[in-house]
Amino acid sequence: MLGTIKVGHAADPEALTGCTVFLPPEGTVASCEVRGGAPGTRETELLRPMFTVSGVNAILLAGGSAFGLSAAGGVVRFLEERGVGFPTPGGPVPIVSAAVIFDLDIGDGTVRPDEEMAYRACLEASVDEGAQGSVGVGMGASVGNPAGRHMSTRGGFGLHRYSGESLEVEVAAVVNSLGDVVGEDGSVIAGLRDGAGGFTGAEAFMAAAAGASSRENTTLVVVATNARIDVAGCARLALQGHNGIARAIRPSHTRYDGDTVFALATGDVEVPQDAVEVYAAIGTEGAIRSAVMSASAGGGLPCARDILGA
């Protein structure tokens, strides 16, 4: 990722759960924005502007709902063994931010990402990792859940990259949303299914039924750039990532979603903040769509490509 940020996946393909870790280089600036009514997070509040740290040593995205947050301990152990962390009189303390998706009702809900799985993801991490779809944290993801998981479409993990003359922006997203994923023309490409094998529309369903039966959903995003941006600037990138979520998922940021966006800036080039913000939103859109179009069928759920015939 960007040639400097290592990405690693680990998963249990039978239990349909997994995790994905991002290991940025030293000096990377970071921030975060949490929206939606049902987040599951760790070490996100300290990434806001005016707090003590200006970056993270790792970001972990995991399945397992609240149980998956404990997997961050494996990332902490990996970093501690290598002397990486925030300097303190007692030695470096690794700063590991994490967010989770709910995947306990697909596959085997008794199996969750743990410290060993996260540690394995760290060992597998590389700057060349480009796998998408049903990998890592995306293994148990689904989209279009207002009528329950059984009527949804397989979600997944996606990437989108912009590379210009000097600016690079790369976005990773895991899509496990209550709402549908829509294309640029607004048509549903993955989401709530009808009895005929097509899509019925999550927004229309929720408006007519005045509610949703599935209350455990989340879209998680990591926006990374090589631009030189401070913590406040990264906070704005995270905001733009949420704009990208709103463009690609309908409805988004519901009280049943724990949508969270992390932003990372490695500080290699000086470019206008506005340009980076534009690509953060565009890249988030692209990563979300790529996630569902790269996913494969599993857990009793079809994938978007099967339904669309793509």
Asked if residues 221 and 172 have their Cβ atoms less than 8 Å apart, the reply is yes
In tens, the pLDDT along 216-275 reads 899 999 999 999 999 999 999 999 999 999 999 999 999 999 999 999 999 999 999 999
At 143, which CATH number? 3.60.70.12
135 HSE (CA, 13 A, CB side): 21
Domain assignment present for residue 164? The answer is yes
Asked if residues 196 and 204 have their Cβ atoms less than 8 Å apart, the reply is no
Mean pLDDT estimate for the chain: 95
pTM above 0.85, yes or no: yes
Print the domain residue range for 45.
6-308
Domain count, the chain: 1
In tens, the pLDDT along 37-93 reads 899 999 999 998 888 888 999 999 999 999 999 999 999 999 999 999 999 999 999
79 HSE (CA, 13 A, CB side): 29
d(CA 111, CA 309): 33
In tens, the pLDDT along 26-50 reads 999 999 999 988 999 999 999 988 8
Report which secondary-structure segment, H or E, holds 237. Answer: helix 231-248
Domain assignment present for residue 271? The answer is yes
Domain assignment present for residue 137? The answer is yes
Asked if residues 180 and 249 have their Cβ atoms less than 8 Å apart, the reply is yes
Say whether 172 sits in a helix, a strand or coil: strand
CA distances (Å), origin 305, targets 17, 296, 297: 21, 8, 9
Domain assignment present for residue 178? The answer is yes
Domain assignment present for residue 17? The answer is yes
Neighbours of 163 (CB within 10 A): 12
Measured in Å, how far apart are the chain's first and last C-alpha atoms? Answer: 27
123 is written with which tokens?
């060992």
Domain assignment present for residue 242? The answer is yes
